[in-house]
Every structure is written in structure tokens, then in C-alpha cells.
Amino acid sequence: MDTKLSLHLYRTMLLARRVDEEAVALQRQGVLPAYAPMRGQEAAQVGSASVLDTSRDFAFPTYRELGVALALGVDPVEYMGTHVGAWHGGMYDPMTTRFAPINAVVGGAVTHAVGWAMGADLDGTGGVAMTFFGDGASSQGDVHEAMNFAAVYRLPVVFLCQNNGWAISTPTSRQVAGGSVAARAAGYDMPGHRVDGNDVLAVREAVRQAVARAREGGGPSVVEAMTYRLGPHSTSDDPGRYRSAEEERDHAGRDPLTRFAARLRESGTAEADLTAAEEHAAEVVARVRAELSSSGDRPGEELFDFVYREPTAALLEQRRQWREDHADA
């Protein structure tokens, strides 16, 4: 095991866990209007994203890929800025970070990734698209069309399914025929790999092979990371209504963060290094809280900017009325 790499992966996973916990707290306190927690999926996200080459590859996330964002170097305050409900969404630069804007359409990012991959293939850049989606999204027609299109044209795409066991309140067994997303890859004449999504090194290796294959012209692959959503689907969800406490306790014992920390200790990693990782995460979390809490509201008049290249008469009238209504505000 590469000690330096493993410690870096652990630090990123730990940071994702702590920022995620803080985001839930901020939502409960009214700073964020809503949030989709990713606790339990740190290994699947950090392990897969760590393979990408940010000089030429691109990641296409859903609304739950905090770990991917951090692994690609996205500033956590800028990432969380997407969740404050401002008109501009996040503050990070997708072109610099190679992390596309957050996509709340179920399965929507998958088609975007395939389109980007076709452009990369035509340009000959050697770039690879990696798209993230859940087991629930795998039932969307868009995902079928994207996989079929990518396979027909042998595009450089890695389809990364995080199978966290639940499509909101519907278990995988009731919405994925056959129970395996990876097995579907055979129908598109592409490799499909199922991997322990709670083992960051196993995820990294499976994705490394898929990325290398895509980069060498071998076409797309499906990697299904079997993990578990330890928290709710979103901050408006109550998982206690559809899954048992016993099930949650069982999966908590397979927590990817605690598992990897134990593995690092067994391999000789100093306790001081793990403590330093906690201290670093605490510093970042404090900055996230301070900067998000003090960010303030965007000027209301911006609601009318950047809607159309040339504003319509109706939009101009709405802006005029808004100015009148807020003249004394």
C-alpha cells in the first residue's frame, strides 16, 4: 500500500465526512434551504475521482458528489455555495476544477458526460468523462440511451454507479431487475465491474482500469460501487419510515472511513497523521461555516439579469415593477 497516497485519500474522505456533517447542521439552522447528505459514500467518490487527470478529464456529478468535488480540488465553500439558493449557484470554476455544475435531474448528468466524451474523442485530447449516478437513476431512460450511444461510438466514458441500496425509499431489489447495474453493461457490449464501494483502494483500482481502457480507445465501461447511504436521501427525508434500525446498525459497522482508518493503523501510519487529518478537517469546516453564514443575500435585481441575451418586453416590465416595489427597501 502506497502510504502517502493512502493518507491523502483518507484525509480527503475525512474532510468530505466532516463538511457533509456540517452541511446537515447548517441546513437544520436555516443557512442552507436543502441538502443531500453523502455520508457512507466517501470511498466510492474519493477513490473514483482520485484517478482523473484534471488536465484533460471531466467529472459529471449529481447533487450528492461532495467527495468527488473535494478530490478534484474544488473549494468546499465554493461547492457549498451551490446550496444557498443564490442565482449563480456555486462559485467554483468548472473548467479549472474539471467538475461540472451540480445536476439535480435524475440521470441528467449521464447524457452530458457522453456528449462531452464525443467532443473529446473528436478533438483527440485523450480526455475521459466520468459520470456519477445512483442505482435509482439507472432505471431512467436517459441512462440507457447514454450507455447505448457511448458503446456504439466507443466513447471514452466511465459510468460510475454508486449503488447505495436505496432509490429514496425504494430498495434496489424492487427497482433494478436482476439486482445488478454492472451486469447490464454486457447488453451494451462494454465491461461491467462490481466493486466494494466501501473500500477506497478497490474502487480506485477498478476505476483506474476503466479510465485506462477508455483513454486507450477501448470505449466505455460501467463500474458499480456497492456502498450504503448511512443517512437520509435528503434533509427532508426520514429513512426510519422505510428501513430498520437493525439494517442501519449493520451497515454502520462497514463504514468506509473507520475501515480505512483501521487499515492505515495496521499498515503503520502514525496516529499523529490521523490526528492531523482531523485537525485539518476541523479548520476547513470552521471556514465553511463562517463564510457561508456571512455570505448574505444576492441583490434581488439580479433575478432579471442573464435570463436572455436580449431581455424581452415582459422581463423588462417585471424588472420595472420590481424596482418600484422595492424602491424604499
- Which grid cell sits at 92? 467554483
Phi, psi dihedrals of residue 264, rounded to the nearest 5°:
-65, -40
pLDDT attached to residue 157? 98
Based on the number of CB atoms within 10 Å of its own CB, is 311 exposed (0-12), middle (13-18) or buried (19 or more)?
Answer: middle
Q: Which listed residue (17, 229, 251, 289) is catalytic?
A: 229
* 233 given a catalytic annotation: yes
Band of residue 65 on the pLDDT scale cut at 50, 70, 90: very high
Q: Is the pLDDT of residue 182 over 70?
A: yes
| Residue 38, phi then psi, degrees to nearest 5 | -125, 15
> Is 166's pLDDT higher than 90?
no
Q: What is the CATH number of domain 3-298?
A: 3.40.50.970
Among the ranges given (39-43, 48-52, 128-132, 288-292), the one the predictor scored with the smallest mean pLDDT: 288-292
Residue ranges of the chain that CATH labels 3.40.50.970: 3-298
What pLDDT sits at residue 89? 54
pLDDT of residue 301: 81
pLDDT at 293: 83
Residue 307: band (very low, low, confident or very high) from pLDDT cuts 50, 70, 90: confident
Q: What is the pLDDT of residue 90?
A: 59
Report, as an integer, the average pLDDT of 297-303: 78
Helix spans in the chain (H): 3-28, 42-49, 66-71, 76-80, 94-97, 108-123, 141-152, 200-215, 245-252, 256-266, 271-293, 313-325
pLDDT at 82: 85
pLDDT higher than 70, residue 71: yes
User: What does the mean pLDDT of the chain come to?
Assistant: 93
Comparing 73 with 308, the larger pLDDT belongs to: 73
Evaluate if residue 306 carries a pLDDT over 80.
no
Answer yes or no: is pLDDT of 61 > 70: yes
> What is the pLDDT averaged over residues 21-44?
95
Of these residues, 17, 98, 213, 233, which one is catalytic?
A: 233
pLDDT (0 to 100) of residue 128: 98
**Residue 1 pLDDT grade (very low, low, confident, very high; cuts 50, 70, 90):** low
Is 242 marked active-site?
yes
Helix, coil or strand: residue 196: strand
Rounded average pLDDT over 1-14: 94
pLDDT mean over 257-285 = 96
Q: What is the pLDDT of residue 95?
A: 93
- Whether 223 has a pLDDT exceeding 80, the answer reads yes
Whether the predicted pLDDT of 97 surpasses 60:
yes
Residue 87 pLDDT: 55
Active-site residue identified among 242, 265, 298, 326? 242
pLDDT band at 221 (very low <50, low <70, confident <90, very high): very high
Q: Is 229 a catalytic residue?
A: yes
Query: Which positions ≥6 away from 163 have C-beta within 8 Å?
Result: 134, 135, 172, 181, 197, 224, 225, 226, 227
